[in-house]
Amino acid sequence: MKTLKALVIASTLLASTSVLAHTFNEADKAIKYRQAAFTMIAGNVSEMGEMLKGKTDWNDAIFAKRANQLSELSLMPLEAFYVEGSDKSKTNALPKVWTNFPDFKARLTQFQKDTSSLASIADKGDKAAIRKAFGKVVKNCKACHSDYKAK
């Protein structure tokens, strides 16, 4: 229920900023956009993780749906990091994002590849393969958070 509530809130935020996807002209709009995308990413990862840990009932269709949504969502945040001034506001993004942008971008690009792979595997329903692919996604998340996100 907690995850569902977070997804609803994030969906609302994302819907209110979706027009900004190609028209960022203010740093605060870009920040809100990427934060909404990351909130949605976290919601999908959380729900899939709960299924894999047995905290919620396994459901092939729901897992595949969340994996596919995650893959689509992974494409969203990067463009909002390019907006001038979006590194100046108070966010959880560390300055290192911009001072080491090639590495940050490479990690986010790898995250996109990993989530795409997870979506393909989830559609086939092989739980062992799903678990392995999900592990790669989460490992990627944690590594990027360690280096580029304030605790």
Binding-site members are 141, 144-145
CA distance 91 to 107: 19
Contact by Cβ (8 Å): 74, 112: yes
Q: Which residues are annotated as a binding site for heme c?
A: 141, 144-145
Q: Which two tokens stand for residue 91?
A: 């966010």
Residues 96 and 145: beta-carbon distance below 8 Å: no
Closest CA to 134 of 151, 148, 120: 120
